[in-house]
Amino acid sequence: MVVSIFTELFGVQTYMVNGVRTAKKSAAKANHFQPAAILDLVVYHNEQKQMQRIKEFHWDHLFQEVLSDVVKNSVALYIVELLQKCLKQPEENTLLFYFCEDILVQLDKAESAVTANFALYFSLQLMQFLGFKMNDDYDDEQNIFDLQEGGFVREQPQHANYLDGEHAFLTSQFLKVMQPHELAGLKLHHETRRRLLLFYQDYYALHIADFGQMKTLAVLHEVLSP
Q: What is the CATH number of the domain that holds 33?
A: 2.40.50.140
Alpha helices in 69-189 (DSSP H): 70-86, 94-109, 112-116, 118-130, 165-175
Going by their DSSP bridges, the two strands 144-146 and 51-61 should be labelled as unpaired
pLDDT at 109 over 90: yes
**Residue 105 and residue 9 in one domain:** no
Contacts of 137-145 with CB under 8 Å at 24 or more apart are: 138/168, 138/169, 138/171, 138/172, 143/168, 143/169, 144/168, 145/171, 145/172
Say how far apart CA 6 and CA 80 lie, in whole Å. Answer: 10
Q: What pLDDT score does 25 carry?
A: 60
pLDDT at 226 over 80: no
pLDDT at 64 over 70: yes
pLDDT at 23 over 60: no
**Residue 155 and residue 49 in one domain:** no
Say how far apart CA 123 and CA 196 lie, in whole Å. Answer: 10
**Residue 6 and residue 107 in one domain:** no
Q: What is the mean pLDDT of residues 95-123?
A: 97
Q: What is the mean pLDDT of residues 189-207?
A: 95
pLDDT category at 60 given cuts 50, 70, 90 is: very high
Q: What is the mean pLDDT of residues 70-79?
A: 97
Say how far apart CA 213 and CA 81 lie, in whole Å. Answer: 10
Q: What pLDDT score does 48 carry?
A: 86
SS3 label, residue 211: coil
- Supply the mean pLDDT for the chain: 93
Q: What pLDDT score does 106 carry?
A: 97
DSSP string, 113-142: HHHHTHHHHHHHHHHHHHT-PPP----SSS
**Residue 49 and residue 91 in one domain:** no
What's at 44, amino acid-wise? Y
- This prediction has a pTM of 0.93
From 20, 43, 62, give the residue that closes a domain.
62
Q: What pLDDT score does 21 carry?
A: 66
- The domain of 30 spans 1-62
What's at 39, amino acid-wise? L
From 30, 62, 94, give the residue that closes a domain.
62
From 62, 90, 107, give the residue that closes a domain.
62
**Residue 97 and residue 171 in one domain:** yes
